[in-house]
Amino acid sequence: MRFGLRVRRALGEQKFDSTTLHLQKLMEDAEMLADVKAYDAAKARLEDGSDELIPLEITERRLKGEPALRIWREHRKLTQEQLAKKAKVSRALIAAIETKRKTGSVGTGRSWGFPLDVGWELLA
């Protein structure tokens, strides 16, 4: 069979030779090591401020259908005017998007994602 592993069936149960069991253990250990490294990297990003957890309040408000732009703007404690100035767009455009009268383009989303310190995909 593949990988030179022998599988025998006896009484409906699979019996694996020691090579198979050893390979299986190595694969489990490698997966655990990858998980630990991913956890350590995520924890380091949180500690150095290059990443953050999304607060439950933001998630709950998004699930209720509130516009992401308004939620993140309020979370960052910015007024529409302050965000407009930082993003170099009009306050009226921000107000229209927050009230769902308009939708913003990806380019516009990127322009206000930077001052809000969120990826544009979270504003979609």
Which carries the bigger pLDDT value, residue 14 or residue 106? 106
Q: Examine the pLDDT at 107 and tell me if it is beyond 90.
A: no
Q: What is the pTM of this model?
A: 0.62
User: Domain 56-123, what architecture?
Assistant: Orthogonal Bundle (1.10)
110, pLDDT greater than 90: no
Domain ranges (residues) in the chain? 2-48, 56-123
pLDDT band at 12 (very low <50, low <70, confident <90, very high): very low
3-state SS, one letter per residue, for the chain: CHHHCCEEEECCEEEECHHHHHHHHHHHHHHHHHHHHHHHHHHHHHHHCCCCCCCHHHHHHHHCCCCHHHHHHHHCCCCHHHHHHHHCCCHHHHHHHHCCCCCCCHHHHHHHHHHHCCCHHHHC
